[in-house]
Amino acid sequence: MSRILAVDDSTSMRQMVSFTLKSAGYDVAEAADGLAALELARQEKFSLVLADVNMPNMDGLSLVRALRGLPDYKFTPLLMLTTESTPEKKQEGKAAGATGWLVKPFNPEQLVATIQRVLS
């Protein structure tokens, strides 16, 4: 089963993402910030990481940068979860090594569709 790491400092958002993905049959681990996520990602290899951009301790861009540096995550889809739909933000994400992004607000259907596209 594909195991996904959902990273967001907002509990409700994390719960929603986690619940939605679990309902779609994925196995989900959660982290509240980039640092915690990196720690988890070092312990096991996730099939996909979905990370918020703005977080305390370590933001999403730094997380993506750090993950891309790990051998296990060289080709892993790393998606940014962001409210900023401006091209600059997406550019920053891409430059950091993100695979793509998902623009908030999104509904559960969009989330699952995106993840399925990437993990099918």
Partner 1 sequence: MSNIDLSRFHRAFFDESLEGLDAMEAALLRLDVGQADAETINLIFRSAHSIKGGAGTFGFTAVAGFTHLLETLLERVRSGQRQVSQADVDLLLRSVDVTRAMLRAADGGDAADVDAVARLGAELEQALEMKPAAVAPVAVASAAAGWKIRFLPKSDIFASGNDPLRILRELDRLGQARIACDSQALPALADAAPETCYLSWTVELRGDCDEGAVRDVFAWVEDECELEILPLPSAEEEGAKDAQPPAAGAVAHPNPSPEGRGAEKPKLKVVEGGKEPTQERRSGDAGSIRVGTEKIDALINLVGELVITQAMLQQIAGNLDPVQNEKLLQGLSLLDRNTRMLQEAVMATRMLPVDAVFSRFPRMVRDLSTKLGKQIRLETVGEGTELDKGVIERIADPLTHLVRNSLDHGLENAGQRIAAGKDPTGTITLRAAHQGGHIVIEVADDGRGLDRERILAKAAERGIPVPANPVDADVWQLIFAPGFSTAEQVTDVSGRGVGMDVVKKNVQALSGQIEISTRPGQGTCVTIRLPLTLAILDGMSVRVGDDIFIVPLNCVVESLQPQAGQVRTLSAGARVVKVRNEYLPLAPLHELFRIRTDAPEPEAGILVLLESEGRKVAAQVDELVGQQQVVIKSLEANYRRVGGISGATILGDGRVALILDVAELVRGYARAAAA
Catalog residues that contact partner 1 under the rule CB under 8 A: 3, 5-6, 9-16, 18-20, 23-24, 27-32, 36, 40, 43-45, 47, 52, 54-56, 68, 74-78, 83, 91, 94, 97-101, 104-109, 112, 117-118, 120
* Nearest CA-CA partner of 101 in 45, 60, 69: 60
Token readout for 103 is 């623009």
Give least dist CB 77 to partner 1, A: 4
Cβ atoms of 40 and 31 within 8 Å: the answer is yes
Q: What CA–CA distance (Å, rounded) separates 50 from 10?
A: 13
Phi/psi at 35 (5° precision): -65, -45
Give least dist CB 102 to partner 1, A: 10
Give least dist CB 88 to partner 1, A: 10
